[in-house]
Amino acid sequence: MSSFRAIRIDKDANSSTAAYVEMSEKDLMPGDVELDVTHSAINYKDGLAVTGKGPVVRRFPMIPGVDLAGRVTHSAHGDFRPGDIVVATGCGLGESHYGGFAQKARVNGDWLVRLPDSLTPARAMTIGTAGLTAMLCVLALERHGLSPADGLSVVTGATGGVGSFAVALLASAGWRVAAVTGHAAEAEYLHSLGAGEIILRESLASPGKPLQTQRFAAGIDTVGGVTLANLLAQTQFDGAIAACGNVGGMDLPTTVAPFILRGVSLLGVESIRPRIALRRAAWVRIATDIDPAMIDSMMEIIPFDEALERASTIVTGKIRGRVVIEISHA
């Protein structure tokens, strides 16, 4: 197929516009692996890109879609050959390099991971950047030497994408998990993921003392700000918090007290850089540790024809769970 269908964002002097277009394979950006994209997913970043409500796109024109899965059709990379089923997340996709909202992609092979046999492309896209980030946080805590025997773990923003996967992954690894949420009605959902205790967000939302009663051996924080400061103040000796989000603000209103008086560690986690060996290890663990039935319960599959409209709605909070795009090549 020399031409393919895509959602493309174009920009003029005043605004950006997203629309379905026909493109040629010669329009694809440089890379050593070409693939037929079979699935993508709608992330909040994609909604910002499509609507122009956030500075996500770094060059125009751009094909959005920060996550993609597909079948390799041509490879000049030693790790891949035609027919391989692969997944890519982050790495500038949908921001500075054409992403997953298209039938075709050409990417750097160092961004790709061969999908474990136990994961379908649709399930991989349900996991996507959110699940990968959560797994990278779990691996960071493990590299720090922490284990379930050390005590209680905590996850903030627990009903969000990263938070939900973090609860499930920690519980699967044997941790007792306290899930922090602003919605008491979500308790049943969080218990179904493996949370043993529910903490209301309000209890961590106000500034507190630099050192508070020790509660947590480990944590995954998706919020930042005052919430993270309180987690650090409540972390026990030699514990650690893996931080990967900032919806609560970029500032961290704390002191050195937790670090120098209790030996607490703050572990920064990002999921943008390739770091292919770490990504491969993370996807293997994800495939092993997450119950497929739980993945399926979070998944809604839509056809490519509905992707543009649905991507526009995520910024208004009208999407629940994970919306996976099935991209037909008929």
Taken in order of first residue, the domains within the chain and their CATH numbers are: 3-115+298-326 (3.90.180.10), 129-268 (3.40.50.720)
* CA triple 299-303-306, angle to 5 deg: 100
pLDDT digits over 248-268, tens only? 889 999 999 999 999 999 999
Residue 1: pLDDT band (50, 70, 90) is low
Average pLDDT for 234-257: 95
Residue 318: pLDDT band (50, 70, 90) is low
- What tokens appear for 216 in the block? 């947590």
pTM of the full structure: 0.90
pLDDT digits over 14-43, tens only? 889 999 999 999 999 999 999 999 999 998
Answer whether 202's CB lies under 8 Å from 178's CB. Answer: no
